[in-house]
């Protein structure tokens, strides 16, 4: 399940490969994940490829094409191969083909006229200049929920999912069940730094190696989660066994000693 770092790399590499190229006639296999009219894509030039939160956003002439991979979606850029069982649409790009699909059909592809309709509710990008300590601090004061849920709220900060939320809280030494408003000034600073540090580290390392969801990330190394999905394993700092609890229905991993 790709989050901000993985998508950032995917987008950057996809841009290098398809910018200024022309889309051919789309091969539609499963329209269920598509909203808007995919036939509008034919013959449009790809002007740019960007990321907005976890969205992959392709600017065309006058219209936009957007992908969200959710949990199991994928984007491959390949020479032609027969559609497989999970492909939803194949977009020809100048002799190559973007295969977009999802075995569980939760991923989405949208064709929109205005970018605003897609992104207006998204919160600030944690890697952008707009993400300041003050913004984080003010947002925390407004929220009544726990800190884990806060980090995953795309309307406040866009791009953090379950994996990096756990990793950020571990680095910041903050217990995931803590109410947002209970964090003191030092903890907010620590959280702010941890958000940036974890995301930047993951970006540098080519993201977390999960199930293959793209061929647009080549990695010789990868980000290794310290606590996420490591229930029962020793905490890398104090060797206390990592604990798993549910927060908002999501598996949440933390060290009960380091994160009080």
- Residues near DNA, by CB under 7 A: 1, 3, 32, 53-54, 68, 70-72, 103-106, 121, 142-146, 149, 152, 154, 161-163, 229, 248-251
Choosing from 225, 250, 256, 257, which is the catalytic residue? Answer: 250
Tell me whether residue 30 or residue 222 sits nearer to DNA (CB atom): 30
- Confirm whether 260 is a catalytic residue: no
Cα separation, 46 vs 38, in Å, equals 15
Tell me whether residue 38 or residue 228 sits nearer to DNA (CB atom): 228
Q: How far is the CB of 20 from DNA (least distance, A)?
A: 29
Choosing from 51, 54, 148, 230, which is the catalytic residue? Answer: 54
Cα separation, 173 vs 223, in Å, equals 19
Tell me whether residue 41 or residue 157 sits nearer to DNA (CB atom): 157
Q: How far is the CB of 42 from DNA (least distance, A)?
A: 27
Q: How far is the CB of 101 from DNA (least distance, A)?
A: 11
Tell me whether residue 62 or residue 246 sits nearer to DNA (CB atom): 246
Tell me whether residue 59 or residue 72 sits nearer to DNA (CB atom): 72
- Confirm whether 2 is a catalytic residue: yes
Q: How far is the CB of 78 from DNA (least distance, A)?
A: 20
SS (H, E, C) the chain: CCCHHHHHHHHHHHHHHHCCCEECCCEECCHHHEECCHHHHCCCECCEEEEECCEEEEECCCCEEEEECCCCCEEEEECCCCCCCCEEEEEEECCEEEEEECCCCCCEEEEECCCHHHHCCCCECCCCCCCCHHHHHHHHHHCCCEHHHHHHCCCCECCCCHHHHHHHHHHHCCCCCCEHHHCCHHHHHHHHHHHHHHHHHHHHCCCECCCCCECCCCCCCCECCCCCCCCCCECCCCCCECEEEEECCEEEEECCCCCC
Q: Spell 28-66 as b/e; 16+ CB within 10 A means b.
A: ebbeebbebebebbeebebeebebbbbbbbbbbeebbbb
Tell me whether residue 67 or residue 192 sits nearer to DNA (CB atom): 67
Q: How far is the CB of 250 from DNA (least distance, A)?
A: 5
Q: How far is the CB of 74 from DNA (least distance, A)?
A: 12
Active centre residues (catalytic): 2-3, 54, 250
């Amino acid at each position: 399940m790709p989050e901000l770092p993985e998508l950032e790399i995917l987008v950057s590499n996809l841009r290098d490969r398809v910018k200024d190229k022309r889309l051919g006639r789309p091969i539609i296999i499963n329209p269920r994940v598509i909203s808007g009219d995919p036939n509008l894509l034919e013959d449009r030039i790809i002007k740019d490829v960007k990321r907005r939160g976890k969205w992959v956003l392709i600017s065309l002439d006058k219209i936009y094409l957007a992908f969200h991979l959710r949990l199991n979606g994928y984007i491959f850029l390949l020479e032609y191969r027969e559609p497989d069982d999970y492909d939803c649409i194949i977009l020809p790009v100048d002799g190559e083909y973007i295969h977009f699909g999802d075995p569980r059909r939760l991923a989405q592809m949208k064709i929109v006229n205005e970018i605003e309709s897609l992104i207006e509710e998204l919160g600030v990008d944690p890697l952008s200049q707009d993400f300041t300590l003050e913004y984080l601090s003010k947002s925390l004061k407004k929220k009544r929920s726990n800190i884990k849920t806060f980090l995953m709220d795309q309307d406040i900060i866009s791009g953090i999912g379950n994996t990096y939320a756990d990793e950020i809280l571990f680095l910041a030494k903050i217990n995931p069940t803590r109410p947002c408003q209970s964090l003191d000034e030092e903890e907010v600073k620590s959280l702010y730094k941890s958000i940036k540090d974890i995301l930047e580290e993951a970006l540098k390392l080519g993201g977390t190696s999960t199930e293959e969801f793209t061929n647009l990330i080549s990695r010789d190394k990868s980000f290794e989660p310290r606590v996420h999905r490591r229930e029962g394993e020793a905490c890398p700092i104090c060797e206390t066994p990592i604990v798993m609890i549910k927060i908002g229905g999501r598996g949440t991993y933390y060290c009960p000693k380091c994160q009080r």
